[in-house]
Amino acid sequence: MLGTYPADFNMIEYTQRLTHYLPALKEKGVSRVLCTVNGKASSCSLLAELVGLPAEVELIADEAGDAGRAFGVSRGWLPDTDEFEVNEDVKVPISPYAKLFGMLLGLGAGNTLPSVITGYLGNPYGEAGWIQSSLDQGSGAGRWPAVPGDEFENLPVVGSWGRRPLELATLRLQNMIGISIANWQQLQPSDDRCLTQLGGLLAVDADGRPLYQWRDNGICATADFEALLRAL
């Protein structure tokens, strides 16, 4: 996996999905899992601790995000622009945080809003196992809102859906408050370019031939691990 910086929604969800799906991946013959994170080594270790990432997952700190760019991941909105030129005499600087805010609105990250909205709407044919286990882990660690992973199964009518309305949105709220905001000083990127750079996932066989590959096309738009298992 090629990640964004540790406090980013995508990186947190990748590690949570990986934590849940690792046994199934091993059953499919996956013998080694590497997770490249655009952050300091200490940030990688803290993120792994926060989400309960299995120790057998090898974390690689890539502060500059070089591996992701080599893989061709999205660099986000206006990656090479540091200022807007109003006229010859007036130039307005653009901070990386302004670019990130633009991406939250879908600029340079077209699947952001659909991915966020589906977290609220749910999906009758979706998969919620990783969401439930992540909610349980976060609630057990004292993160708010503390919601049992199976709580959404008790909802009337939609409780039998594969992924219930508000289920994923609740996990993302828990991640935002309990991981991103609570640990921002330790998890923030050391290279501003990584604030908007997205991630991806690559699975190869023993000879290095790609079996599955994915490049994020928005914030909260991460790889589907069910599709990964099918590809394996």
- Sorted by sequence, the CB contacts under 8 Å of residue 181 that are 6+ apart come out as none
What pLDDT, on a 0 to 100 scale, did the predictor assign at position 86? 80
Task: Render the burial of 183-204: b for 16+ CB within 10 Å, e for the rest.
Answer: beebbbbebbbbbbbbbbbebe
List Cβ neighbours of 51 (8 Å cut-off, separation of 6 or more). 12, 15, 16, 19, 134, 137, 179
Low-confidence ranges of the chain (pLDDT < 50): none
Amino acid 17: pLDDT: 98
Residue with tokens 């000083």: 185
pLDDT at 170: 98
pLDDT at position 85: 82
Supply the pLDDT for residue 90: 86
* pLDDT attached to residue 87: 81
Instruction: Indicate the pTM of the whole model.
Output: 0.96
Residue 196 contacts residue 107 (beta carbons within 8 Å): no
pLDDT of res. 88: 78
First-last CA distance in the chain: 15
The CA-based dihedral angle spanning residues 94, 96, 98, 100, taken in that order and rounded to the nearest 10 degrees: 150
* Residues in contact with 208: Cβ distance below 8 Å, sequence separation at least 6, in sequence order: none
What residues contact residue 44 under an 8 Å CB cut-off, 6+ apart?
6, 37, 59, 60, 61
